[in-house]
Amino acid sequence: MGRLKGKIAIVTGAGSGLGKAISETFAAEGARVVLTDIEIDAAKQVAERIGANAIALEQDVVDEARWDKIFAETAGAFGTPHILVNNAGLVLPGTIEDCSFELFRKQTSIMLDGVFLGCRSAVRAMKSNDQPSSIINLSSMAALQGYSPFVAYSAAKGGVRSMTKSVALHCKEQDYPIRCNSLHPAGIDTPMVRQESVGAGGGETPATGMIKIGELGHPNDVAALCVYLASDESRFMTAGEYPVDNGVLYKPA
Protein backbone atom coordinates (compact mmCIF):
# COMPACT_ATOMS: atom_id res chain seq x y z
CA MET A 1 0.00 0.00 0.00
CA GLY A 2 1.11 3.57 -0.57
CA ARG A 3 2.99 2.92 -3.82
CA LEU A 4 1.33 6.02 -5.33
CA LYS A 5 1.45 8.22 -2.24
CA GLY A 6 1.75 11.87 -3.24
CA LYS A 7 0.67 11.20 -6.84
CA ILE A 8 -2.29 12.83 -8.56
CA ALA A 9 -4.02 10.86 -11.31
CA ILE A 10 -6.63 11.44 -14.00
CA VAL A 11 -8.49 8.36 -15.25
CA THR A 12 -10.90 8.64 -18.18
CA GLY A 13 -13.88 6.35 -18.60
CA ALA A 14 -13.75 5.81 -14.85
CA GLY A 15 -17.41 5.10 -14.18
CA SER A 16 -17.25 1.38 -14.91
CA GLY A 17 -15.09 -1.52 -16.03
CA LEU A 18 -11.35 -1.01 -16.22
CA GLY A 19 -11.52 2.71 -15.40
CA LYS A 20 -13.41 2.01 -12.20
CA ALA A 21 -10.96 -0.69 -11.11
CA ILE A 22 -7.93 1.45 -11.95
CA SER A 23 -9.32 4.44 -10.05
CA GLU A 24 -10.14 2.39 -6.96
CA THR A 25 -6.74 0.68 -6.99
CA PHE A 26 -4.88 3.96 -7.45
CA ALA A 27 -6.72 5.45 -4.49
CA ALA A 28 -5.99 2.37 -2.37
CA GLU A 29 -2.29 2.90 -3.17
CA GLY A 30 -2.39 6.49 -1.92
CA ALA A 31 -3.09 8.53 -5.06
CA ARG A 32 -5.60 11.33 -5.31
CA VAL A 33 -7.77 10.54 -8.30
CA VAL A 34 -9.87 12.55 -10.75
CA LEU A 35 -12.41 10.26 -12.39
CA THR A 36 -13.80 11.50 -15.70
CA ASP A 37 -16.63 10.02 -17.71
CA ILE A 38 -19.31 11.14 -20.13
CA GLU A 39 -21.68 9.20 -17.83
CA ILE A 40 -21.05 11.49 -14.89
CA ASP A 41 -23.46 9.82 -12.46
CA ALA A 42 -21.53 6.55 -12.68
CA ALA A 43 -18.22 8.34 -12.08
CA LYS A 44 -19.68 10.21 -9.12
CA GLN A 45 -20.80 6.96 -7.50
CA VAL A 46 -17.29 5.53 -7.78
CA ALA A 47 -15.71 8.74 -6.45
CA GLU A 48 -18.10 8.81 -3.50
CA ARG A 49 -17.15 5.26 -2.56
CA ILE A 50 -13.46 6.16 -2.73
CA GLY A 51 -13.93 9.18 -0.47
CA ALA A 52 -12.13 12.48 0.02
CA ASN A 53 -9.21 11.61 -2.26
CA ALA A 54 -11.38 11.43 -5.38
CA ILE A 55 -13.56 13.74 -7.44
CA ALA A 56 -15.62 13.11 -10.57
CA LEU A 57 -15.73 15.38 -13.60
CA GLU A 58 -17.92 15.09 -16.68
CA GLN A 59 -15.91 14.70 -19.88
CA ASP A 60 -16.40 13.93 -23.53
CA VAL A 61 -12.86 12.97 -24.54
CA VAL A 62 -13.26 14.32 -28.08
CA ASP A 63 -14.05 17.82 -26.77
CA GLU A 64 -10.69 19.56 -27.18
CA ALA A 65 -11.48 22.53 -24.94
CA ARG A 66 -12.73 20.25 -22.17
CA TRP A 67 -9.31 18.63 -21.84
CA ASP A 68 -7.71 21.92 -20.82
CA LYS A 69 -10.48 22.43 -18.27
CA ILE A 70 -10.01 18.91 -16.87
CA PHE A 71 -6.34 19.61 -16.18
CA ALA A 72 -7.15 23.04 -14.76
CA GLU A 73 -9.85 21.64 -12.46
CA THR A 74 -7.53 18.84 -11.36
CA ALA A 75 -4.83 21.38 -10.51
CA GLY A 76 -7.36 23.42 -8.57
CA ALA A 77 -8.57 20.45 -6.56
CA PHE A 78 -5.36 18.53 -5.90
CA GLY A 79 -2.43 20.03 -7.84
CA THR A 80 -0.77 19.31 -11.17
CA PRO A 81 -1.31 15.65 -12.08
CA HIS A 82 1.49 13.12 -12.40
CA ILE A 83 -0.53 10.35 -14.03
CA LEU A 84 -2.98 10.15 -16.92
CA VAL A 85 -4.75 6.93 -17.85
CA ASN A 86 -6.45 7.15 -21.25
CA ASN A 87 -9.09 4.48 -20.83
CA ALA A 88 -12.38 5.85 -22.23
CA GLY A 89 -13.77 3.94 -25.17
CA LEU A 90 -16.53 1.91 -26.76
CA VAL A 91 -16.87 -1.11 -29.03
CA LEU A 92 -18.80 -0.86 -32.29
CA PRO A 93 -18.96 -4.01 -34.43
CA GLY A 94 -18.35 -3.94 -38.17
CA THR A 95 -16.19 -5.80 -40.67
CA ILE A 96 -14.36 -4.11 -43.54
CA GLU A 97 -17.37 -4.90 -45.75
CA ASP A 98 -20.22 -3.68 -43.56
CA CYS A 99 -18.66 -0.95 -41.39
CA SER A 100 -20.05 2.44 -42.40
CA PHE A 101 -17.74 5.42 -42.64
CA GLU A 102 -19.86 7.13 -39.97
CA LEU A 103 -19.30 4.23 -37.57
CA PHE A 104 -15.59 4.13 -38.39
CA ARG A 105 -15.20 7.83 -37.67
CA LYS A 106 -17.17 7.61 -34.42
CA GLN A 107 -15.03 4.74 -33.16
CA THR A 108 -11.70 6.30 -34.11
CA SER A 109 -12.75 9.73 -32.85
CA ILE A 110 -13.33 8.49 -29.31
CA MET A 111 -10.59 5.89 -29.09
CA LEU A 112 -7.82 7.58 -31.09
CA ASP A 113 -8.55 11.31 -31.24
CA GLY A 114 -9.47 11.28 -27.56
CA VAL A 115 -6.17 9.64 -26.64
CA PHE A 116 -4.25 12.16 -28.75
CA LEU A 117 -5.95 15.07 -27.00
CA GLY A 118 -5.30 13.52 -23.60
CA CYS A 119 -1.63 12.86 -24.31
CA ARG A 120 -1.12 16.37 -25.65
CA SER A 121 -2.71 18.01 -22.62
CA ALA A 122 -0.81 15.73 -20.26
CA VAL A 123 2.58 16.46 -21.81
CA ARG A 124 1.94 20.19 -21.74
CA ALA A 125 0.84 20.07 -18.11
CA MET A 126 3.32 17.54 -16.72
CA LYS A 127 6.55 18.42 -18.52
CA SER A 128 7.58 20.76 -15.70
CA ASN A 129 6.76 18.33 -12.89
CA ASP A 130 9.42 17.93 -10.24
CA GLN A 131 8.83 14.18 -9.94
CA PRO A 132 8.44 11.34 -12.47
CA SER A 133 5.15 11.28 -14.35
CA SER A 134 3.38 8.64 -16.40
CA ILE A 135 0.89 8.37 -19.26
CA ILE A 136 -0.79 4.98 -19.62
CA ASN A 137 -2.81 4.34 -22.77
CA LEU A 138 -5.28 1.47 -22.82
CA SER A 139 -4.94 -0.19 -26.19
CA SER A 140 -6.02 -3.77 -26.89
CA MET A 141 -4.91 -7.12 -28.22
CA ALA A 142 -6.68 -5.91 -31.39
CA ALA A 143 -3.73 -3.58 -31.95
CA LEU A 144 -1.36 -6.54 -32.04
CA GLN A 145 -3.31 -9.04 -34.12
CA GLY A 146 -6.54 -7.45 -35.41
CA TYR A 147 -10.16 -8.56 -34.91
CA SER A 148 -12.03 -9.07 -38.18
CA PRO A 149 -15.50 -8.30 -36.68
CA PHE A 150 -14.21 -4.94 -35.37
CA VAL A 151 -12.25 -3.18 -38.10
CA ALA A 152 -12.71 0.35 -36.70
CA TYR A 153 -11.87 -0.71 -33.15
CA SER A 154 -8.74 -2.50 -34.36
CA ALA A 155 -7.65 0.53 -36.38
CA ALA A 156 -8.13 2.88 -33.44
CA LYS A 157 -6.27 0.66 -31.01
CA GLY A 158 -3.44 0.17 -33.50
CA GLY A 159 -3.13 3.93 -33.70
CA VAL A 160 -2.97 4.18 -29.92
CA ARG A 161 -0.16 1.63 -29.90
CA SER A 162 1.99 3.62 -32.34
CA MET A 163 1.12 7.02 -30.89
CA THR A 164 2.21 5.83 -27.45
CA LYS A 165 5.71 5.19 -28.75
CA SER A 166 5.85 8.59 -30.47
CA VAL A 167 4.79 10.36 -27.27
CA ALA A 168 7.32 8.41 -25.21
CA LEU A 169 10.19 9.18 -27.59
CA HIS A 170 9.27 12.87 -27.76
CA CYS A 171 9.30 13.15 -23.97
CA LYS A 172 12.65 11.37 -23.80
CA GLU A 173 14.16 13.60 -26.51
CA GLN A 174 12.93 16.72 -24.72
CA ASP A 175 14.16 15.42 -21.35
CA TYR A 176 10.67 15.64 -19.87
CA PRO A 177 10.02 13.58 -16.71
CA ILE A 178 7.22 11.69 -18.47
CA ARG A 179 7.01 8.05 -19.46
CA CYS A 180 4.34 6.71 -21.82
CA ASN A 181 3.34 3.06 -22.18
CA SER A 182 0.43 1.09 -23.61
CA LEU A 183 -1.51 -1.85 -22.19
CA HIS A 184 -3.09 -4.49 -24.42
CA PRO A 185 -5.77 -6.42 -22.54
CA ALA A 186 -7.82 -9.29 -23.93
CA GLY A 187 -10.63 -11.20 -22.29
CA ILE A 188 -11.00 -9.04 -19.19
CA ASP A 189 -14.46 -9.35 -17.65
CA THR A 190 -15.94 -5.89 -18.21
CA PRO A 191 -19.26 -4.74 -19.69
CA MET A 192 -17.43 -3.65 -22.86
CA VAL A 193 -15.82 -7.07 -23.36
CA ARG A 194 -19.18 -8.79 -22.88
CA GLN A 195 -20.59 -6.38 -25.48
CA GLU A 196 -17.66 -7.18 -27.79
CA SER A 197 -18.46 -10.88 -27.61
CA VAL A 198 -22.10 -10.32 -28.53
CA GLY A 199 -21.16 -7.87 -31.29
CA ALA A 200 -18.82 -10.37 -32.91
CA GLY A 201 -21.90 -11.98 -34.45
CA GLY A 202 -20.34 -15.41 -34.67
CA GLY A 203 -16.86 -14.12 -35.43
CA GLU A 204 -14.05 -15.13 -33.12
CA THR A 205 -12.17 -12.75 -30.83
CA PRO A 206 -10.04 -13.58 -27.77
CA ALA A 207 -13.01 -12.60 -25.61
CA THR A 208 -15.48 -14.99 -27.23
CA GLY A 209 -13.20 -17.98 -26.74
CA MET A 210 -12.32 -17.05 -23.16
CA ILE A 211 -15.97 -16.53 -22.21
CA LYS A 212 -16.82 -20.00 -23.54
CA ILE A 213 -14.31 -21.70 -21.24
CA GLY A 214 -14.82 -19.40 -18.25
CA GLU A 215 -11.31 -18.00 -18.42
CA LEU A 216 -11.93 -14.24 -18.29
CA GLY A 217 -9.52 -12.05 -16.38
CA HIS A 218 -10.54 -9.54 -13.72
CA PRO A 219 -10.28 -5.75 -14.12
CA ASN A 220 -7.89 -5.77 -11.17
CA ASP A 221 -5.43 -7.75 -13.31
CA VAL A 222 -5.11 -4.66 -15.48
CA ALA A 223 -5.28 -2.22 -12.57
CA ALA A 224 -2.32 -3.91 -10.88
CA LEU A 225 -0.11 -3.33 -13.90
CA CYS A 226 -1.35 0.26 -14.12
CA VAL A 227 -0.19 0.85 -10.55
CA TYR A 228 3.28 -0.41 -11.44
CA LEU A 229 3.51 1.72 -14.59
CA ALA A 230 2.18 4.77 -12.73
CA SER A 231 4.64 4.36 -9.87
CA ASP A 232 8.31 5.28 -9.73
CA GLU A 233 9.08 1.55 -9.63
CA SER A 234 8.83 1.56 -13.43
CA ARG A 235 11.04 4.64 -13.88
CA PHE A 236 13.18 2.89 -16.56
CA MET A 237 10.21 1.76 -18.68
CA THR A 238 8.81 3.84 -21.52
CA ALA A 239 7.51 3.26 -25.07
CA GLY A 240 6.54 -0.25 -24.00
CA GLU A 241 3.51 -2.35 -24.91
CA TYR A 242 2.26 -4.87 -22.37
CA PRO A 243 -0.26 -7.64 -23.09
CA VAL A 244 -2.62 -8.59 -20.26
CA ASP A 245 -4.20 -11.61 -21.88
CA ASN A 246 -3.19 -14.87 -20.18
CA GLY A 247 -1.04 -15.75 -23.18
CA VAL A 248 -3.75 -15.40 -25.83
CA LEU A 249 -1.41 -13.53 -28.19
CA TYR A 250 1.02 -16.43 -28.22
CA LYS A 251 -1.36 -19.39 -28.17
CA PRO A 252 -0.49 -22.22 -30.61
CA ALA A 253 -2.19 -22.10 -34.00
Model confidence pLDDT, tens digit, residues 95-105: 999 999 999 99
Eight-class DSSP state of 109 = I
**Res. 149: pLDDT tops 70:** yes
Closest CA to 93 of 181, 203, 185: 203
228 is catalytic: no
CATH for 233:
3.40.50.720
Is residue 252, in this structure, part of any structural domain at all? no
In a domain, 71, yes or no: yes
The span from the CA of 138 to the CA of 148, in Å, is 20
- 94 belongs to a structural domain: yes
Mean pLDDT to the nearest integer, 117-132: 98
Amino acid at 119: C
Q: How confident is the model at residue 219 (pLDDT cuts 50, 70, 90)?
A: very high
Amino acid letter, residue 184: H
Residue span of the structural domain in which 165 resides: 8-187+219-244
Q: Give me the percent of the chain exceeding a pLDDT of 90.
A: 85
19 with 12: CB under 8 angstroms?
A: yes
Among 30, 7, 11, 28, which Cα is nearest to 19's? 11
The answer as to whether 46 is a domain residue is: yes
Residue 30: inside a domain, yes or no? Answer: yes
Of 147, 153, 242, 250, which is the active-site residue? Answer: 153
Q: Is residue 146 part of a domain?
A: yes
Mean pLDDT of the chain: 93
Distance, in Å, from the CA atom of 245 to the CA atom of 212, rounded to the nearest integer, reads 15
Which are the contacts of 251, defined by CB distance < 8 A and separation ≥ 6? none
CA distances from 12 to 96, 197, 216 (A): 29, 23, 23
Average pLDDT value for residue range 97-125: 98
Does a structural domain hold residue 133? yes
Query: Is 3 part of any domain?
Result: no
The count of domains in the chain is 1
pLDDT in tens, 45-93: 999 999 999 999 999 999 999 999 999 999 999 999 999 999 999 999 9
pLDDT in tens, 152-202: 999 999 999 999 999 999 999 999 999 999 999 999 998 766 665 554 455
> Which H or E run includes 104?
helix 101-108
